[in-house]
Structure 1
Amino acid sequence: MNPTFFKSHKTPLLFTLFSVAFYLSFAYDLVRTDYIKLISLYSALFFLFYKLVQTGNSDFKFLLGMAILFRIVFLFATPNLSQDFYRFIWDGRMILAGFNPYLFTPESFISSSTFPVAQAQELYYGMGALNASHFTNYPPIKQFIFMVAAFISGKSILGSAIVFRLFIIAADIGTLYVGKKLLERLKMPVHTIFWYILNPFIIIELTGNLHFEGIMIFFLLLSLYLLHLGKWKSAAVSFALSVSVKLIPLLLLPLFFQYFTKKNTAIHNSDQTNIVSTSAALGLPKLLGFYGIIGVTTLLLFAPFFSSEFIQNYSKTVGLWFSAFEFNASLYYVAREIGYRLTGYNQIAFIGKFIPMLTILTVLILTFFRKNTSIKHLIVSMLFAVSIYYFISTTIHPWYLATLLILSIFTTYKFPLVWSFMIILSYLSYTNTQHSENPWIIGLEYLIVYAVFIWEVFIKKDRQKAVFHI
């Protein structure tokens, strides 16, 4: 209640007041089919977020308080842009009921009028027929959180959602802490972490809609921080925990090759007076040890669910992302249109086979033809690897971009920040009962994203030089 504080923070506090009001409306009074309100609220929140970070970047504690406050607004809200949390609740309750969630689809129970968990029918209709007809693909750390929610709130959907939300908020606070520490060690402005933490895209998609990218990101960032400290064994365990939340970090594994096998430049430790090496010339044995710890830890986490049927179901479900699902894609839609014109039907099954191959080729090029001997260079390569994968994928749900956004914080690239604003256009597909996408809307989204990407990577030479020769 210090008058001096209010006087010095008058403008940021005004931005905060409007943000809270808009977040309240977003959380408790928005239907995703109301596209005018959806776009208006999101645009206003994004503008206020930009101004908050811009005007408050010198007051870390103030921005931290705002980050927590905005998340608390969503605490008792039911997600209104995604149905996935119903499946999360189903899986958790299945585990407590003694079932392996990887071996049964919700559809198999409901179609036979069998209700293995509390509120089974409500959860089934909430998740939707498409989700219910497939085996779960959520890794074991997520399943553990689902189970905790089922244990604490086994008969309340909102109660389970609150438990999920508390885990996600805790992970975001952890990301803020670790991100700040890593930025300090990399001698970068610490306030840039708020371009992630205060971003309405992150608050809405993770805290609001209960997507677990935030927990995966916390473990991934912790792994990079520990690696920078030279604690490669602990970093490997943390990386495995990240994989066991979402599989996307597996894509990044080859990129560590140069970091371990080639000498790194010594970096000054700002917390001490001496000069330390991040992990100079760790060598091939430690690289193999790093991979080995990741592999063993991941297998141990999956072990409670392991069976031959699990492998078959899980690989089949993951494969659907390349051969069956389509949403908010860019280059894939171009290839699909060419396929239509040449053959007269959707060529997703054929095109989808090339996506993993192109992704692997991209990662190998980044592994052996880019300098990845420091954490900064490594993060840039990770950013490019995930970006190319998303550019060619058949399915890009909004929350996927959280990984790009956190990686970009440690670079000079801003196209993920631009994309985090433009991605709201993908929700316009829900304005009709068929959930069909408007190609002009998708085209507008990617026109702007690709324009910024091309500008930053290929045209703006001074920025490119700053990243590649830092």
Structure 2
Amino acid sequence: MFNWSATRFLQLLALLLSALAYGALAYVTPRTQFGQLLGLLAVAFGLYIYLLKTRLPLRAGLLAALLLRLLWLLALPGLSDDYHRFRWDGLLVAQGVNPFQYRPDEVLANPVKARVTPSDSTISQQSTFKQQLPAAVNQQLEILYPKLNSPHYYSVYPPVCQAAFGLASGIFPTNERSAVLVLRLLVLLAEAGSAALLLALLRVFGQTLDRALWYLLNPLVVVELTGNLHFEAFVICFTLLALWLLVRGQRYWSAGALGLAVGTKLLPLLMLPLLVRRLGWQQFARYSAVTGLVVALLFLPLFSLDLLRNINSSLTLYFSKFEFNASVYYVVRAIGYHLTGYNEIAIIGPALARTTAALALLLAWREKAAIWATLPRTLLFTLTIYYFLAIVVHPWYLAPLVALSVFTTYRFALVWSGMVVLSYAAYQTSAYLENPWLLALEYSTVVGVLVWELASKYQLETKNKE
């Protein structure tokens, strides 16, 4: 009895210390203070590991996951300035202005903008008319513009995100903290959905329910999704919903859920090749058609020829200009520098994207057991390949890996979720200079754990065959 009480007491103490760490991260830790950020997250991860090792009871863990997220309720995001662009796009959406048509510098230069609406006859025929934005909105845009990290680029946020931005800015067009609160409540709602779906899927797959805490208590997930308002929370929720509906045999509803995931971020498209063998070609074609239809309907209110052109422009820039916390790309870039004397990102970026697509198709084709229970594992490795070959890997990108690892025996994603904080060292100065030694430490640790896990699994399978 004493040991049980001692363990519970230490778990309670660990949760209280976690709350103190999160409170400091939420309210007194700008991303420029890398030492403070690293120390607090190290404490949070250490306590997270302790809670998992000592088997924190599920109910206590679920309550703690909620309370630790509620700590951020009144905080402004301190580790990401993306929320300024969220408000910018939201202000335009709330006024009926298509955020995909105009760059912020264009809007600021001429606040009289066009409202685009489909005509009754056809989607491709649209009427455009000039509309003067309200003075209060123009004033907010003037305030926001200097805070934007990409004022010369078109928006890259799909329609589900834009709907959330428009809702928050529509309700609170001039109140930054209140608009952020609305977005955070939406993220919390998505996280609650993910919690319920994790438990439901674990139950269906015959796995222990406390595995859900690996995701729900993960510091990266808490800090980056609830804290910094990244919409991977919606991607995870809709993707889990799609998987749960597939397991239940509700394929068309599942396709709709996957369409919502793609309408939040395009990355869930990588799940489609993994469904071919599970559904068969005929059912797969129908599933893909429904998914595509849902995505098209989501984009419909924002559709224009400019939309296609500007999204293509944004994607081209993404794969040929931006770089952050990459691994394979930085090695190939160094080779390119040695051979040509130039940064060959315009060639390397698209080439790595094509390689990712080819490897994803190969993985889907070579998968041994194409059943629903193995889908999370295969999707985990598909996304891992994507991130290893990506030229931009922001910390919050890894949240889906943490969610998928819940259903597997692999822990490299949990290790990566802890090591990726090293990438924040780049924000210590306004020049955003990355530390190659820290990046080497991050990726060598992650790759080392992954190789060890794969080798251990191979040895176990070989032993079982004998």
Normalising by structure 2, report the TM-score: 0.91
Equivalent AA in structure 1 for residue 154 of structure 2: F
Report SS of the residue matched to 1:102. Answer: coil
Q: Determine if the alignment matches structure 1 residue 134 to structure 2 residue 131.
A: no
Report SS of the residue matched to 1:390. Answer: helix
Equivalent AA in structure 2 for residue 295 of structure 1: G
The runs of 5 or more residues in structure 1 that have no matched partner are 262-283
Q: Match of 1:231? A: 250
Equivalent AA in structure 1 for residue 108 of structure 2: I
Q: Match of 1:254? A: 273
C-alpha deviation, 1:52, in angstroms: 2.0
Cα distance between partner residues in 2 of 1:186 and 1:415: 21
Q: Match of 1:303? A: 300
Q: Match of 2:130? A: none
Report SS of the residue matched to 1:389. Answer: helix
Equivalent AA in structure 1 for residue 19 of structure 2: V
Cα distance between partner residues in 2 of 1:102 and 1:149: 18
Cα distance between partner residues in 1 of 2:353 and 2:461: 28
Q: Match of 2:146? A: 125
Q: Match of 1:27? A: 26
Cα distance between partner residues in 2 of 1:175 and 1:26: 24
C-alpha deviation, 1:111, in angstroms: 4.1
Task: Please give the residue correspondences for 1:70-469 in structure 2 after superposition, counting only pairs within 5 Å.
Answer: 70-111=68-109, 117-128=138-149, 131-261=150-280, 284-462=281-459
List per-residue Cα deviations over 1:248-285 (Å, max 9, x = no partner).
00122111011112xxxxxxxxxxxxxxxxxxxxxx32
List per-residue Cα deviations over 1:125-177 (Å, max 9, x = no partner).
2223xx11100011111111111101221111111111111111111111111
C-alpha deviation, 1:71, in angstroms: 0.5
Equivalent AA in structure 2 for residue 172 of structure 1: E
The runs of 5 or more residues in structure 2 that have no matched partner are 113-134
Q: Match of 2:115? A: none
Cα distance between partner residues in 1 of 2:251 and 2:315: 29
Cα distance between partner residues in 2 of 1:307 and 1:167: 28
Report SS of the residue matched to 1:132. Answer: coil
The alpha-carbon distance between structure 1 residues 464 and 209, as it changes in their structure 2 partners (threshold 3 A), is farther
Equivalent AA in structure 2 for residue 125 of structure 1: P
The alpha-carbon distance between structure 1 residues 51 and 459, as it changes in their structure 2 partners (threshold 3 A), is closer
The alpha-carbon distance between structure 1 residues 181 and 112, as it changes in their structure 2 partners (threshold 3 A), is same
Cα distance between partner residues in 1 of 2:174 and 2:460: 53
Cα distance between partner residues in 2 of 1:314 and 1:421: 33
Cα distance between partner residues in 2 of 1:149 and 1:432: 31
Confirm or deny: 8 A CA contact 2:353 2:390 kept in the other structure: no
Cα distance between partner residues in 1 of 2:251 and 2:341: 52
Confirm or deny: 8 A CA contact 1:260 1:373 kept in the other structure: no
Report SS of the residue matched to 1:353. Answer: helix
Equivalent AA in structure 2 for residue 389 of structure 1: Y
Equivalent AA in structure 2 for residue 369 of structure 1: R
Confirm or deny: 8 A CA contact 2:328 2:389 kept in the other structure: yes
Cα distance between partner residues in 2 of 1:328 and 1:463: 33
Report SS of the residue matched to 2:54. Answer: helix
Cα distance between partner residues in 2 of 1:118 and 1:142: 23
Cα distance between partner residues in 2 of 1:78 and 1:320: 29
C-alpha deviation, 1:48, in angstroms: 1.0
Cα distance between partner residues in 2 of 1:315 and 1:51: 46
Q: How many residues align?
A: 439
Cα distance between partner residues in 2 of 1:294 and 1:208: 30
C-alpha deviation, 1:432, in angstroms: 2.0
Equivalent AA in structure 2 for residue 169 of structure 1: L
Normalising by structure 1, report the TM-score: 0.90
- Stretch of structure 1 that moved more, 40-49 or 353-362: 353-362
Report SS of the residue matched to 1:368. Answer: helix
Equivalent AA in structure 2 for residue 77 of structure 1: A
- Aligned-pair Cα RMSD in Å: 1.9
Equivalent AA in structure 1 for residue 48 of structure 2: F
The alpha-carbon distance between structure 1 residues 299 and 286, as it changes in their structure 2 partners (threshold 3 A), is same
Equivalent AA in structure 1 for residue 152 of structure 2: S
Report SS of the residue matched to 1:352. Answer: helix
